[in-house]
Every structure is written in C-alpha cells, then in structure tokens.
C-alpha cells in the first residue's frame, strides 16, 4: 500500500525488495477503481525557487504514478531563517507562488493540497503579520477552499531545546471551513498544531469529512514523542482517513523537522510512512468501503451525545 523514495544509502537488497513492491503496487493502482493519493515529504529552505522546483518534481512524479490528488506540507513555499526573513518572503493568494501552483494543477489535470502558505494578512501594509494558510486547488487550477490555521504553536520546552512563538508574526484564522469534495473524498482541512485538538477533527467529521489532513512541520522532539500517536488517535476517534504531509530534515541553521509523512486509515492502521531521512512521497489507495464498514460496525457517531451533555459539568 506504500511507495516511498529511498535515500542513496539504502542497501541493495532493500532496494530490490522495494522495487518489487513498487511494481506490484503500480500494477494494482493502474487497474484499481479506487482513487490514489500522494502524500509528500519535503525539506524547504528560504529559497522559494528551489522549493518550488522540488515540489513540482514530486507532483509530476505523483501524476505519473496515477495520483489524482497530491498533498504538500506546511511551509511548502519556504522556511525562513528568521522571523524577519519569513515576513519578507510573504505573498498574497494572487501572488506568483500560488499562480505557479495553479498553472501546474491545470497542466497536469491534478488536485493539490498546499498545506501551509505564508499569506500576507489583511492589514499587511500597517502591521506586517501573516496567515498560515492551507489551500486546495482543483484540476482546473482554481482555488476551491482556503483554511487559515487557528491554533498557533506558542511553546516553550527548554529541556527539549524548543522555543517557538508562531503568534509573533502569524494571525490566528477566524474559523473552520467546511470539508471540500475532491476526487479522493470529502477532505477536512487542518494544519500542524491543529492536530492536538480533538474537537477540531470531530467538528469536521460531523460536517461530512471522510478524510482529515494535517500538513505539518513538526519539530524533531515533539514529532518523536507525539506525531504518530496523535495522527492515529484522530483517525480512530473521527473514523476518517488521515493524511499528513510533512517537512523533514534541516531547513536552516536553527530549524529541523521530524518527517514521517503518514497516511492512516479509519481503523488507525498506518498505510504509508515516508520515514525521517529525506524528501519523498507515499502513494496510497483510498478505500471508502473501509471507511463505511468501520463506521457501520462501530457506529461511534450514533452513540455520541449532544453537545450540551459534554458541557454539563460546566453547569454544576
């Protein structure tokens, strides 16, 4: 169920085994009516042109392998070496970066999830603050959904060497957005730190989400401790597929990411994992019958009490 690009250091035997698996998978995908999704892992730097070239190659390869939708991670456009540099590189949704991705989607006839774009805020000229924005582009090159990250990563973990305050330059998004219909199913949009809030996934599922996506740039310490368990928990509790594109490796002198772009099914099984070594992708079929049978056999949503019940302790 998985195809990942291997690093140059892979042993020959591992390469042969993976190649056989790849051939078997690609034959299966070529004859399967189930949609194929590509979940990508990249190592963004402050150089937007280099990042665009790397992401474009992944999207083109995903299309060749039969994917109908490609998911790119948070900060796919760039990772700045400082807050000042990050702000200096911000664009609007009508700027050059999104325009090029729209052209790519239209040229390849493929849907794109752009998982965390540095978007200039509404008062850019006066306050120089940005949104962290997740954009869905359809196969005609049109933006069909825009979600702005609601939960900002303001965390101090001195024992882990982590000190980040995303709110220094980022505006929190005002609301959730309705799940969007795509060729692979109905997708509910999140970004990175949103993953830690179960209310978020339940709300999206309640409004029809079949797939939850959390494009991320997790730190190495928090990723090693929490990444997989959180993604599997969100999949299990919402009974959804979870797709999590990821940043990996060293971006700047001060920043690295955990990697391990994952695909998890509604039972909590990991279908694809890109590892923590370098850029790549995992290709997975989305089997909606698995989702339907999981929800049918364990009807969690039917057993859920009304919202008032879960807040009843606040009234006592």
List domains and CATH numbers for the chain.
Answer: 12-315 (3.60.110.10)
Lowest mean pLDDT among 36-40, 148-152, 154-158, 305-309: 154-158
Per-residue pLDDT at 4: 60
Q: Which residues of 230-261 are buried (b: 16+ CB within 10 A; e: fewer)?
A: bbbbbbbebbbbbbbbbbbbebeeebbbbbbb
pTM of the full structure: 0.88
203-247 pLDDT, tens digit per residue, is 999 999 999 999 999 999 999 999 999 999 999 999 999 999 999
Per-residue pLDDT at 179: 98
Per-residue pLDDT at 159: 83
Question: Which residues are the active-site residues?
Answer: 74, 149, 192
Per-residue pLDDT at 5: 52
pLDDT averaged over every residue in the chain: 91
Q: Pairing mode, if any, of strands 111-120 and 69-72?
A: parallel
- Is the confidence at residue 12, as pLDDT, over 50? no
Confidence at 27, pLDDT banded by 50, 70, 90? very low
Alpha carbons 56 and 162: distance in angstroms, whole number:
31
More confident residue, 27 or 187: 187
């Amino acid at each position: 169920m998985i195809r990942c690009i291997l690093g140059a250091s892979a042993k020959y035997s591992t390469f042969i085994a993976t190649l056989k698996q790849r051939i078997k998978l690609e034959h299966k995908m070529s004859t399967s009516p189930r949609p194929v999704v590509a979940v990508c892992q990249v190592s963004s730097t402050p150089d937007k042109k280099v990042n665009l070239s790397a992401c474009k190659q992944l999207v083109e390869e995903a299309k060749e392998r039969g994917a109908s939708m490609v998911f790119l991670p948070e900060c796919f456009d760039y990772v700045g070496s400082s807050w000042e540099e990050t702000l200096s590189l911000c664009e609007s949704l009508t700027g050059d970066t999104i325009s090029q991705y729209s052209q790519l989607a239209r040229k390849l006839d493929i849907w794109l999830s752009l998982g965390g774009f540095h978007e200039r805020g509404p008062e850019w000229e006066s306050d120089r603050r940005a949104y962290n924005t997740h954009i869905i582009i359809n196969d005609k090159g049109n933006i069909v959904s825009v979600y702005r990250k609601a939960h900002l990563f303001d965390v101090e973990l001195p024992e882990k060497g982590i000190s980040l305050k995303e709110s220094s330059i980022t505006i929190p998004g005002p609301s959730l957005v309705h799940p969007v219909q795509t060729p692979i199913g109905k997708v509910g949009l999140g970004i990175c730190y949103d993953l830690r809030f179960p209310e978020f996934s339940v709300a999206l599922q309640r409004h029809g989400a079949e797939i939850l996506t959390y494009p991320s740039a997790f730190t190495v310490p928090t990723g090693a401790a929490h990444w997989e368990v959180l993604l599997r928990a969100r999949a299990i509790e919402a009974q959804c597929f979870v797709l999590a594109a990821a940043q990996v490796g060293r971006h700047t002198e001060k920043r690295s990411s955990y990697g391990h772009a994952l695909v998890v099914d509604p039972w909590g099984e990991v279908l694809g994992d890109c590892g923590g070594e370098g850029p790549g992708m995992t290709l997975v079929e989305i089997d909606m019958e698995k989702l339907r049978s999981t929800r049918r056999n364990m009807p969690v949503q039917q057993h859920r009490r009304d919202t008032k019940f879960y807040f009843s302790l606040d009234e006592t």
